[in-house]
Amino acid sequence: MQLKILGTQSPYNTAGHNCPGFLITDEDAKLMLDCGSGSHRMLNYPQDLENLNVILTHLHRDHYNDIYNLQYASFVFHNQGRVIKPVQVYMPATPPEIYKDISGEDNAYCEYSEIHKDRTLTVGKINITFLPVTHPMETYAVKISDGKSTIVYTSDTSWLSNQDISAFAKDADILISEASLLVSDGFPEVNSHLTAKQAALIAKQAGVKKLIITHFWPEKAPQQFVDEAKEYFENTFAANEGDIYDL
């Protein structure tokens, strides 16, 4: 598998930084985790639309805004005969009005279905499972494995889910964790997001090989989050747009 970072910032994108997005490829199979503002510009068109599967981990704008750009691109390239298979889009059923808005888009060459805790997906050689995590709306962590390597993505979550995520990510090669907050900024232990310290503690509990932190507040330098996390888990890296990890 290969992991490409498409977006690392929230709640808005700025020059050079997009909202959350990650592309995992394995031979012809392609899996995009989240589709935040600006992330779609990191794809190669139209080839990345063929055999593309998109998982929206939850329906907050910073994680799905660019799905509309991707939908329209699929529509145009399909009409040109350059995309043969519809893009597969998986997302939570709630909020229902957002699910309906996305899945009801006319100018799209996509198919849609719901994700839930008991669903398992197979994309090429990749097996995908889901874990509900604590957040203000229905949200899922995602585990991706090809039988040799494993990537786990926390999505947005709270320390209340730390034990569940640690078990879900046990011995993973890469844990991609949101780290929206800094302890030094005075945030309480239980919030709707994780501090960099908490992301590192989850990585340590899970015994993962590498921690990639993401979902940075735009006014803060990513290195601040890395410095905090490294106090608890040394093998920590900041997600950066365009970075590629081979597994």
pLDDT of residue 171: 98
pLDDT in tens, the chain (247 residues): 999 999 999 999 999 999 999 999 998 899 999 999 999 999 999 999 999 999 999 999 999 999 999 999 999 999 999 999 999 999 999 999 999 999 999 999 999 999 999 999 999 999 999 999 999 999 999 999 999 999 999 999 999 999 999 999 999 999 999 999 999 999 888 899 999 999 999 999 999 999 999 999 999 999 999 999 999 999 999 999 999 999 9
Identity at 120, one-letter amino acid code = T
Would you identify the CATH topology of the domain 2-246?
Answer: Metallo-beta-lactamase; Chain A (3.60.15)
**Per-residue pLDDT, 187:** 87
Residue 86 carries which DSSP code? P
Q: H or E stretch including 205?
A: helix 196-206
Q: For the chain, give every domain's residue range.
A: 2-246
The predicted model scores a pTM of 0.97
Q: What is the pLDDT of residue 45?
A: 97
65, 90, 112, 201 from 185: Cα distances, Å: 28, 35, 40, 18
Predicted confidence at residue 190, as pLDDT, reads 87
The one-character DSSP state at 65 is: T
CA-closest candidate to residue 6, choices 74, 50, 55 = 55
**For position 161, what pLDDT does the model report?**
98
Output the CA–CA distances (angstroms, integers) from residue 82 to 39, 145, 156, in the order listed. Answer: 22, 29, 35
The length of the chain in residues reads 247
Alpha-carbon gap, residue 155 to 178, rounded angstroms: 6
The pLDDT value recorded for residue 188 is 84
Tokens of residue 64, six digits: 């799905």
188, 198 in Cβ contact below 8 A?
Answer: no
Predicted local distance difference test score (pLDDT) of residue 63: 98
